[in-house]
A and B are shown apart, each in its own frame.
Chain A
Amino acid sequence: MKEIELQSQPDLLHDGEVPSDVRTEELVLNMGPQHPSTHGVLRVILQTDGELVLKATPYIGYLHRSAEKIAEKVTYRQFTPYTDRLDYLAAMNNNLGFALAVEKLGGIEVPPRADYLRVIFAELNRIASHLMATGSYGLDMGAFTPLIYCFREREWIMDLFEAACGARLTYSYITIGGVREDLPEGWIQKCREFLDYFEPKIAEYNNLLSYNHIFINRTGNVGICPAELAVAYGLTGPCLRGSGLAWDLRKATPYCRYNEFEFDISVGRGQNGTLGDCWDRYFVRILEMVQSVRIVRQALDKLTDGPVQAKVPRIVKLPAGEVYYEVENPRGQLGFHLVSDGGTSPYRLKIRGPSFCNLSVLPVLAPNCLLADISALLGSIDIVMGEVDR
């Protein structure tokens, strides 16, 4: 009886195959905007087949605050606090990018001490930002402890920033024409203490997380982004260098006297998998922290006496014209396209957020990886939604 049934339905004879008259479909999974590992209010629609992800579509805009439109209504100086809120983990670097764009259009000369201070603060903030990325990447992989270790060191940097400018997250310290105020007494000594304390801790992260067998198995050979793909999608920063391309704006078009410092461009080598996988992107950040420590040490040595502010009027007026200026942020190249009609506020300001461009590669890398790899991918791209949505 059963054989007859099966013969009448030949599909059922094939073990493991679904009969043709049974309708199957992929499971659509809504990841975010309140998901713990989307690093903010990112929403990703996943089409899954069991644990396998077939398609991932990111939906953005949950943190849109019209920063670019606001820029047209406020003066140049007043826009600096808004740049803090773009990539809130690297506010110093955002300040720097905007200040440099305005200075280039206005032809403002910055005193040397201010330049070195800018380098010191930008690099310290790069360390803080990479610490956050490293720690939260550990959290994405299920290791809680690296996060707390990274926060322990980041807290010290926050304290240094607080001593210098009074704020712990949104600094507005680097302003048009220099930096807002000079360092407090004893700050340089504290900064050197921090660097001496911090350098051996990097080995600790490596022992705990980077060279952990499970961690390598989770991130190596996952989300491989070849160099051509990275260039085609406009990836910058650690995501680009993780693919093996030695491209760093601090070397390519040096600003802020970066050409005076000795440092290496950290690139991924694919030593724990394929070149351009999640582990490479992750490890580039660790290597960059080492280089940033080197830069800060040199900048502290070179720090000269002198003013920290150029003579810039309170209400800046720029000549009519346009400028596009990019700086190397922790997450990639942050660009400001500034158009001025000669007034006190920009005619138009377009911001190129590195997180936004880096995120664009997610739908390309996500197919055919497992559900758990999505958080590995997102964490290695290291987005900040404040910058994606602006």
Chain B
Amino acid sequence: MMYIPQRPPVEYKGLSLKIVRLATRWGPTGISLALRFAWGIFFAAVVALVLFVWLVGRFINPLLPWFIRDFVVVVGLLGFVCIVAIIGIWGERKVSGRIQSRLGPMRTGHWHGWAQSLADGLKFVQKEDLIPRDADQPLFRLAPYVALVPAFCAYLALPFGVGWVFRDADVSLLFVLAMLAIEVLGVIMAGWASNSKWSLYGAMREGCQLVSYEIPMGLSLLAAVVATGSVNLITLGEAQSGGWFAWLIFQNPFLFLAFFTYYVASLASCKRSPFDLPEGESELVAGFHTEYSGFRFVMFFFAEYVAMFAVSALATIIFLGGWHSPIGGPSSPLWFVLKSTFLVWVQMWIRWTLPRIRIDQVMHACVKYLLPFTLLLFLGSSLWQLYDNPAHPAFKGFANLLRGVLGVLGLVLLGLYFFGAGYGYYNRNRLVGQMARRHLPGA
């Protein structure tokens, strides 16, 4: 008889097993009870929270309620950021699917695969925590946090509307820009700590690309700052109330161009195509996160989408009227989210259309063209402020004429977009649907 080695039965033990046992024992009952009394539990929790905060302020320390309020807001902001990333990842897959005449995720969660990112996230959390043997352990562990946390911190000063901001700082624009710039540190850390040549190449590319594109990005924003005289994002947003003609992008031709230079530079600064060289999969395998897997990789992934929304939000506040309605109605944070989402969608659109630029072309484009051009825009915007005031009445007519032309130009661009979208939608069968309808030649 052949000897078959028997593996000893594995003894699972530990806290996580206890939690799993407890959850399988009490989970179904608890969830069904919680669902039955969901509204009651919610209201009870709110009442308990308010009571708790009041009691703390009354008896322990009068300053503590403010601390608790801040804590709750930060947790809420963290939740919002996570939702932005999750919806962004799902949206990216749906957008890429539609652009490539596919469907994208359709199964998970039944309705157009809405739960795909959640399922992916769950898978990533379950994965083994792999660190290469030769990696620089502490740096390798630290890098994902350094990439994600600043991107989240940018939201602390990002206003969603008047009063819809965690901290109304006087220098909020600088704060947001600075926070977005720190991400590069995490990427370089990751590339260096991975101890892989491909990662190192990705990190170095990221370093030189980000540091170069920060300059045209900041200069484009400065052109807008000159026009309003403030680096407070709320003041910048409030300066544009009263319909789309009041948006800063349509105020003078320099700002109109500055919006586009800012948008290009922001694509480069959050590593989006056609500037996705740090993670260019056909050249550098996966760039700086080649060696990362599981939850650490998720943090880089989240950081990218969080930064995408943040740069779009910045463009919305500074150039596209922020939280103000384009037709002059009441302003609302919803307008802000809508406009930012549109800009994020354009980023995705660009990514799935264009090839990638080479590294020398990236640097040439920045140093030779974008940088001098944004400097000119800054100069032009400053000069415009010199003449566009009551001291120069003759200039006013010319300025208003140009504003009108720019406003109509913006409207035409938007109209072209909707015309193209409608044309594609109504001709979708002719454009993409043939394979689906006539599948097999033998059929």
Q: Which residue of B lies closest to A139 (CB)?
A: B282
Stretch from B44-52, B96-104, B259-267 at the A interface: B96-104
Contact of A217 among B198, B282, B353, B361 (CB under 8 A): B361
Look across to chain B and name the residue whose beta carbon is closest to the beta carbon of A217.
B361
Cβ of B170 within 8 Å of any chain A Cβ, yes or no, is no
Q: Which one, B214-222, B382-390, B432-440, is touching chain A?
A: B432-440
The SS class assigned to the B binding surface is loop
Among the listed B96, B273, B361, B441, which residue makes an inter-chain contact with A142, where contact means beta carbons less than 8 Å apart?
B273
Interface flag for B354 (CB, 8 Å): yes
Instruction: Please determine whether B353 and A371 come into contact, CB atoms closer than 8 angstroms.
Output: no
A184 in contact (CB, < 8 A): yes
Complex interface: chain B residues within 8 A of A35 (CB): 285
A215 contacts across to B, CB distance below 8 A: 355
Q: Shortest CB–CB separation between residue A35 and chain B, in angstroms? A: 6
Instruction: Report yes or no: A159 in contact with B440, Cβ–Cβ below 8 A.
Output: yes
Q: Is the CB of A371 within 8 A of B201?
A: yes
Q: Which of B242-277 contact A (CB under 8 A)?
A: 273-274, 276-277
User: Does A148 sit within 8 A of B, measured CB to CB?
Assistant: yes
Report Cα–Cα, A36/B286, bound state, in Å.
9
Instruction: Determine if B352 and A145 form an interchain contact, defined as CB atoms under 8 angstroms apart.
Output: yes
Interface 1/0 per residue, A136-163 and B, CB below 8 Å: 0011111111001100100110011011
Q: Give the interface segment out of A96-104, A206-214, A262-270, A347-355.
A: A206-214
A217:B434 contact, CB within 8 angstroms: no
Find out whether the CB atom of B197 lies under 8 angstroms from the CB atom of A144. Answer: no
The CA-CA distance from A214 to B277 in the complex, in Å, is: 14
**Pair A217/B358 contact, Cβ less than 8 Å:** yes
Q: Decide if A51 touches B360 in the complex (CB within 8 Å).
A: yes
In the complex, whether B356 has a CB less than 8 A from a CB of chain A is yes
Asked if A148 contacts B358 (CB within 8 A), the reply is no
Q: Mark A10-53, 1 if CB is under 8 A from B, else 0.
A: 00000000000000000101100001110000000000000100
Tell which of A184, A190, A209 touches B355, judged by Cβ atoms closer than 8 Å. Answer: A209
Instruction: State A184–B274 Cα separation when bound (angstroms).
Output: 46
Determine the distance from Cα of A145 to Cα of B353 in the docked complex, in whole angstroms.
Answer: 7
- Output the nearest chain A residue to B357 by Cβ-Cβ distance: A214
The verdict on B163 contacting chain A, using a C-beta distance below 8 Å, is: no
Query: B359 at the A/B interface (Cβ < 8 Å)?
Result: yes
A149 to B356, CA, bound (A): 18
Judge whether A218 is part of the interface by a CB distance below 8 angstroms.
yes
A138 contact set on B, CB distance < 8 A: 355
> Is the beta-carbon distance between A144 and B283 smaller than 8 angstroms?
no
In the complex, which residue of chain A has the Cβ closest to the Cβ of B99?
Answer: A145
Q: Using a Cβ–Cβ cut-off of 8 Å, how many residues does chain A contribute to the interface with B?
A: 45
Question: Is there a chain A Cβ closer than 8 Å to B280's Cβ?
Answer: yes
Chain B residue contacts of A59, Cβ below 8 A: none
**Distance (whole angstroms) from the CB of B349 to the closest CB of chain A:** 11
A residues in contact with B361, CB < 8 Å: 217-218
Q: How far is the CA of A37 from the CA of B356 in the complex (A)?
A: 14
Least CB distance, A99 to chain B, in whole angstroms: 24
Q: Judge whether B442 is part of the interface by a CB distance below 8 angstroms.
A: yes
Which residues of chain A from 116 to 137 have any CB-CB distance to chain B below 8 Å in the complex?
none
What bracket does the count of chain B residues touching chain A fall in?
20 to 34
Q: Which of B269-319 contact A (CB under 8 A)?
A: 273-274, 276-277, 280-283, 285
State whether B276 touches A142 (Cβ < 8 A): yes
Bound CA span A217–B364, Å: 12
Known A51-B360, A145-B352, A191-B441; judge A140-B102 contact (CB<8 A).
no
B residues in contact with A373, CB < 8 Å: 358
Chain A's closest residue to B360 (CB) is A370
Closest Cβ of chain A to B362, distance in Å, is: 10
Minimum Cβ distance to chain B for residue A93 (Å): 21
How far is A37 from B281 in the complex, measured between Cα atoms in Å?
Answer: 8
* Minimum CB–CB distance for A259 against chain B, Å: 29
Note all chain A residues with C-beta closer than 8 A to B355: 138, 141-143, 209, 212, 214-215, 218
Q: Which residues of A contact B282 (CB under 8 A)?
A: 36-37, 139-142, 375
Q: Which residues of A contact B440 (CB under 8 A)?
A: 159, 162-163
Judging by beta carbons under 8 Å apart, are B353 and A208 in contact?
A: yes
Q: Does A312 contact B (CB under 8 A)?
A: no
Bound Cα distance from A86 to B276, whole angstroms:
35
Q: Which of A27, A36, A209 contacts B285 (CB 8 A)?
A: A36
Chain A residues within 8 Å of B358, by CB = 217-218, 370, 372-373
Cβ-closest chain A residue relative to B281: A36
Give the chain B neighbours of A156 by CB distance below 8 A: 435, 441
Q: Which residues of A contact B96 (CB under 8 A)?
A: 144-145
State whether the Cβ of A194 lies closer than 8 Å to any Cβ in chain B: yes
Those of B12-37 within 8 Å (CB) of chain A: none
Shortest CB-to-CB span from A380 to chain B, Å, is 13
Residues of B within 8 A of A184 (CB): 442
Report yes or no: B441 in contact with A190, Cβ–Cβ below 8 A.
yes
- Chain A residues lying within 8 Å of B360, measured Cβ to Cβ, are 51, 370
Return chain B residues, CB-CB under 8 Å to A142. 273-274, 276, 280, 282, 354-356
Tell me which of B352, B358, B359, B361 has the highest count of chain A C-beta atoms within 10 A of its own C-beta: B358
Contact of A194 among B201, B356, B441 (CB under 8 A): B441
Q: Are A372 and B359 in contact (CB under 8 A)?
A: yes
Q: With the chains together, A190 CA to B442 CA distance in Å? A: 8
What sequence of 0s and 1s flags, for each residue 209-243 of chain A, a beta carbon within 8 Å of any chain B beta carbon? 10010110110000000000000000000000000
A and B contact pairs by CB, cutoff 8 A, 14 listed: A27-B197, A36-B282, A37-B282, A144-B352, A148-B100, A152-B435, A156-B435, A184-B442, A187-B441, A212-B355, A218-B355, A370-B358, A370-B360, A372-B356
Given contacts A160-B441, A218-B361, 15 further A-B contacts (CB under 8 A): A30-B197, A138-B355, A145-B352, A149-B101, A152-B435, A159-B441, A163-B442, A193-B441, A214-B354, A214-B355, A214-B356, A218-B356, A370-B358, A373-B358, A375-B283
Q: Which 10 A-B pairs have the closest CB atoms?
A: A142-B356, A190-B441, A148-B100, A163-B442, A143-B355, A141-B355, A37-B282, A140-B282, A142-B355, A372-B283
